[in-house]
């Protein structure tokens, strides 16, 4: 072993130690072993070793607007998805989104010589780089296909595992068709602007989640691309509404920010204003959307800060909009104590802000902030699920209707 490979191995072990410390629980043994063996730096040759073995995503390609379009996902994201997939020796695996080829190399390690891995990449340059990295590592048995992963790879089907490593708007019919009996599809699925990595197994003509985790992904390109609408409001723009699922937007919204906001405060105080899965709870409100608030507009006092810096949860109706905000009521700059509230703009702004704070309070009253989320995908042709199940959210897509339910300590409950 030369000095450089000793360094690499030490850095991999150190990366795994830091990952376990960050998550607070160990990795599945086979996933930890694969990540110990596969040299991530070979798949991101342009990155310094410290970045290759850091805990962040390594962005490898950006579009003309500097938006990331390909990356090696963060090690925690990669590990979590592989754990959800439960890949075993001998499995036939399809990956959508080859990116750097790193995850395909981990999959090749997990399936061993008796299994097979096919990975599909939309971008020809990215696909070529993935091929080169896999050859450089010595995993040239991985089949890299250039094309749109939404149609899968019928020539190699059926697959025991299908892993989608780009954000998907729906479960493509080809993936379901190409799934072997007893197989599992793991994908980051976007529902009403919220992303969850879902491991689905088939149950008759439906798919039922066996695990649901929270994470973010680069969106899918091609025929499965995510249809979203961005609505800029105010001078900067000061806020931008991201509206999913083709929900209609009133033209009157353009003047919503003309008057100052009204506030609704809750008694909820927390050192970190994020409450996992509360987003699905708020997503039951009509006009639910994500609101990106411009930092300069906040500093200039034109709009209140967002509760969550990566996009506050909000609602819009007619010419009015409201979003979750927070104010510091104690603590320190590093660890502020935040009071949770909502701010509303426009004629119905106060009412919309109250809807948000009422639901935020109800979330804590009814769930104590601890729920297990289950997601079921039903063929779109079937009757609506709304009268059958106590659903938190029902999202209708092209091919499926997704029914999200929540249970508190094994007890089913409705929104």
Ligand X SMILES: C[S@@+](CC[C@H](N)C(=O)[O-])C[C@H]1O[C@@H](n2cnc3c(N)ncnc32)[C@H](O)[C@@H]1O
> Which residues in this chain contact ligand X in the complex, by CB under 6 A?
69-73, 96-97, 99-100, 102-103, 120-123, 126, 148-150, 165-166, 217-218, 220-222, 224
CB of 188 closer than 8 Å to CB of 196: yes
Closer to ligand X by Cβ: residue 58 or 321:
58
Closest approach, Cβ 160 to ligand X, in A, equals: 18
Closest approach, Cβ 399 to ligand X, in A, equals: 15
Closer to ligand X by Cβ: residue 43 or 363:
43
Closer to ligand X by Cβ: residue 175 or 217:
217
Closer to ligand X by Cβ: residue 224 or 234:
224
Q: Which of 262, 288, 276 is nearest to 356 (CA)?
A: 288
Q: Tell me if residue 414 is catalytic.
A: no
Q: One of 70, 71, 73, 320 is an active-site residue; which one?
A: 73
Closest approach, Cβ 308 to ligand X, in A, equals: 22
- Going 32 to 38 to 42 to 43, the CA torsion angle's sign is negative
Closer to ligand X by Cβ: residue 73 or 195:
73
The pairing of strands 320-331 and 239-244 is unpaired
Q: Which residue's entry shows tokens 């000095």?
A: 3
Closest approach, Cβ 401 to ligand X, in A, equals: 22
Closest approach, Cβ 135 to ligand X, in A, equals: 15
Tell me the catalytic residues: 73
């Amino acid at each position: 072993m030369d000095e450089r490979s000793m360094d690499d191995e030490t850095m991999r072990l150190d990366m795994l130690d830091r990952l376990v410390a960050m998550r607070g629980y160990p990795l599945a043994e086979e996933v930890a072993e694969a990540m110990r063996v596969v040299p991530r730096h070979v798949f991101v040759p342009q990155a310094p070793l410290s970045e290759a073995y850091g805990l962040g995503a390594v962005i490898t390609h950006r579009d003309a607007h500097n938006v990331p379009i390909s990356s090696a996902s963060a090690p925690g994201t990669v590990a979590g998805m592989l754990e959800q997939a439960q890949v075993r020796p001998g499995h036939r695996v399809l990956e959508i989104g080859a990116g750097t080829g790193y995850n395909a190399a981990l999959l090749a390690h997990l399936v061993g010589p008796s299994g097979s891995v096919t990975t599909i990449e939309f971008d020809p340059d990215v696909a070529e780089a993935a091929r080169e990295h896999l050859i450089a590592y010595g995993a040239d048995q991985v089949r890299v296909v250039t094309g749109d992963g939404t149609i899968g790879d019928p020539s190699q089907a059926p697959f025991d595992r299908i892993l989608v490593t780009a954000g998907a708007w729906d479960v493509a019919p080809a993936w379901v068709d190409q799934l072997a009996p007893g197989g599992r599809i793991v994908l980051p699925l976007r529902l009403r602007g919220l992303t969850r990595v879902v491991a689905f197994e088939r149950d008759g003509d439906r798919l039922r989640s066996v695990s649901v985790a929270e994470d973010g992904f680069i969106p899918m390109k091609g025929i499965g691309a995510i249809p979203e609408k961005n609505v800029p409001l105010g001078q900067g723009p000061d806020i931008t509404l991201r509206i999913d699922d083709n929900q209609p937007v009133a033209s009157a919204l353009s003047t919503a920010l003309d008057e100052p906001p009204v506030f609704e405060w809750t008694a909820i105080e927390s050192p970190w204003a994020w409450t996992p899965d509360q987003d699905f709870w708020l997503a039951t409100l009509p006009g639910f959307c994500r609101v990106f608030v411009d930092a300069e507009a906040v500093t200039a006092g034109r709009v209140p800060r967002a509760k969550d810096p990566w996009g506050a949860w909000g609602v819009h109706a007619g010419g009015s909009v409201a979003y979750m905000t927070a104010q510091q009521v104690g603590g320190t700059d590093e660890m502020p104590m935040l009071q949770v509230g909502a701010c509303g703009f426009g004629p119905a702004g106060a009412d919309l802000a109250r809807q948000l704070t009422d639901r935020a309070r109800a979330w804590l009253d009814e769930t104590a902030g601890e729920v297990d989320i289950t997601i079921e995908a039903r063929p779109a042709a079937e009757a609506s699920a709304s009268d059958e199940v106590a659903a938190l959210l029902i999202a209708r897509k092209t091919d499926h209707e997704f029914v999200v339910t929540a249970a508190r300590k094994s007890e089913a409950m409705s929104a």
